[in-house]
């Protein structure tokens, strides 16, 4: 029997990087881009293999290998161990439309889809809390010291206010908000940017600690603006957040250009989203200007743009 499972990408609306230091952040699932995993039975005794054509990998999962150097095999191992090491003969094909290194949570989404399909194959679906913990373990391999925001928003598939070691707060908005998302086409390593912010912070804890605290404060204001639909205020906070991220040295020439372009084309505000130094930007747009903003962003160098309407489409909690 064939099984399939999927998980969405994500964007961070406010608070990346500071969230690693315990400040709050806001993240939204982005279901237009997804990772999917399909599992089909394979010949008896062949064990579990993973095929990821997008990245040209064919991997065999060795349950007892304690030093997996690949996130896919590590994710499969963790899932199999959590499920009591069932003896399975399975070929799992992974596909993803989420740009790798794009700040869209590709790693967490692939892990979530892969673990889900393994659990379906043994007819013991994970509850979200359990899956979230397992995906977080794999995130440590991807990111070093992840805050846990990516795995949480992707596994829950709901917009969240997130703070490390605090209760996660899913939220809804009163009226739909339109975001334009633009991918710079430049993949970047979150492990590296998070590490560089750490070095900056250690070099001057007063100065950089104050920038991280300012980001934390604007996220708290942003939560209210988001819920009450104060789009001008929310946009302004996003732009301020971008400026603070620049001070943390994690913007780049193209990200700055895309943020400025979105603003000149009529966005309420815009910022880089995710790890930075590449990846994507997110702009809050008046609905009637969203197409124009998208076109301007592509002219300014974005390789791809998408619309994300928060509060419009019902989210599917299962996938
Ligand atoms: O995976 P990315 O690039 O979307 O970045 C995640 C957000 C960071 O705050 C930069 C890191 C983290 O673990 O929270």
Distance 210 CA to ligand 1 centre (A): 19
In order along its 319 residues, the chain shows pLDDT tens digits of 899 999 999 999 999 999 999 999 999 999 999 999 999 999 999 999 999 998 889 999 998 888 888 999 999 999 999 999 889 999 999 999 999 999 999 999 999 999 999 999 999 999 999 999 999 999 998 888 899 999 999 999 999 999 999 999 999 998 999 999 999 999 999 999 999 999 999 999 999 999 999 999 999 999 999 989 999 999 999 999 999 999 999 999 999 999 999 999 999 999 999 999 999 999 999 999 999 999 999 999 999 999 999 998 555 554 4
Residues 64, 65, 66, 150: which is the catalytic one?
150
Are 95 and 189 found together in one domain?
Answer: no
Closest atom of ligand 1 to 279 CA is 3
Q: Which residue, judged by its Cα, is nearest atom 6 of ligand 1? A: 274
Q: In terms of residue numbers, what domain contains 136?
A: 3-162
Whether residue 317 lies inside any domain: the answer is: no
Token pair, residue 123, equals: 């007819």
150 included as an active-site residue: yes
Whether residue 167 lies inside any domain: the answer is: no
Whether residue 319 lies inside any domain: the answer is: no
Are 182 and 247 found together in one domain?
Answer: yes
- Using the 8-state DSSP alphabet, how is residue 60 labeled? E
Rounded distance, CA 129 to CA 310, Å?
24
Rounded distance, CA 69 to CA 61, Å?
11
- Three-state SS at 68: coil
Are 73 and 158 found together in one domain?
Answer: yes
Whether residue 9 lies inside any domain: the answer is: yes
Distance 203 CA to ligand 1 centre (A): 21
Are 142 and 187 found together in one domain?
Answer: no
**Ligand 1 pocket test target in 9, 18, 19, 142 with most atoms within 8 Å of CB:** 19
Q: What is the pLDDT of residue 144?
A: 82
Distance 76 CA to ligand 1 centre (A): 22
Tally of domains in the chain: 2
Rounded distance, CA 54 to CA 96, Å?
7
- Three-state SS at 316: coil
Percentages of the chain per state (helix, strand, coil), in multiples of 5 = 45, 25, 35
Are 135 and 250 found together in one domain?
Answer: no
Give the binding-site residues of ligand 1, using a 6 Å CB cut-off. 12, 16-17, 19-20, 103, 105, 143, 146-147, 149-150, 190, 194, 274-275, 279
Asked if 159 and 310 touch (Cβ cutoff 8 Å), the reply is: yes
Rounded distance, CA 61 to CA 72, Å?
9
Distance 190 CA to ligand 1 centre (A): 6
Whether residue 177 lies inside any domain: the answer is: yes
H helix or E strand, kind and range, residue 6: strand 3-14
Which CATH number fits the domain that encloses residue 61?
Answer: 3.30.230.10
Q: What is the pLDDT of residue 319?
A: 44
Q: Which residue, judged by its Cα, is nearest atom 13 of ligand 1? A: 146
Q: What is the pLDDT of residue 96?
A: 97
**Of 131, 162, 193, the domain-final residue:** 162
**Of 162, 194, 221, the domain-final residue:** 162
């Amino acid at each position: 029997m064939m099984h399939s499972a999927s998980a969405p990408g994500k964007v961070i609306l406010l608070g990346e990087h500071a969230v690693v230091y315990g400040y709050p952040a806001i993240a939204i699932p982005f279901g237009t881009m997804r990772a999917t995993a399909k599992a089909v039975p394979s010949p008896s005794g062949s064990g579990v293999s993973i095929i990821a054509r997008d990245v040209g990998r064919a991997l065999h999962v060795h349950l007892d290998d304690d030093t997996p150097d690949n996130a896919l095999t590590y994710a499969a191992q963790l899932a199999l161990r959590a499920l009591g090491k069932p003896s399975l003969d399975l070929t799992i094909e992974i596909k993803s439309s989420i740009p790798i290194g794009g700040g869209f949570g590709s790693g967490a989404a692939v892990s979530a889809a892969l673990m889900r399909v393994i659990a379906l194959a043994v007819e013991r679906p994970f509850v979200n809390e359990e899956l979230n913990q397992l995906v977080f373990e794999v995130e440590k391999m991807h990111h070093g010291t992840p805050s846990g925001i990516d795995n949480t928003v992707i596994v829950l598939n709901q917009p969240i206010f997130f703070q490390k070691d605090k209760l996660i707060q899913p939220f809804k908005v009163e009226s739909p908000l339109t975001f334009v998302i633009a991918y710079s086409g430049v993949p970047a390593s979150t492990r590296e940017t998070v590490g560089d912010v750490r070095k900056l912070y250690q070099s001057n804890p007063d100065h950089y600690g104050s920038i991280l605290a300012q980001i934390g404060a604007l996220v708290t204001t942003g939560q209210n603006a988001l819920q009450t639909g104060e789009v001008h205020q929310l946009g302004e906070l996003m732009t301020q957040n971008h400026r603070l991220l620049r001070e943390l040295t994690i913007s780049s020439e193209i990200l700055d250009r895309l943020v400025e372009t979105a603003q000149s084309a009529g966005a309420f505000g815009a910022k880089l989203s995710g790890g930075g130094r590449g990846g994507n930007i997110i702009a809050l747009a008046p609905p009637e200007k969203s197409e124009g903003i998208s076109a301007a962003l592509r002219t300014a160098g974005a390789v791809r743009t998408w619309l994300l309407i928060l509060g419009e489409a019902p989210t599917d909690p299962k996938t």
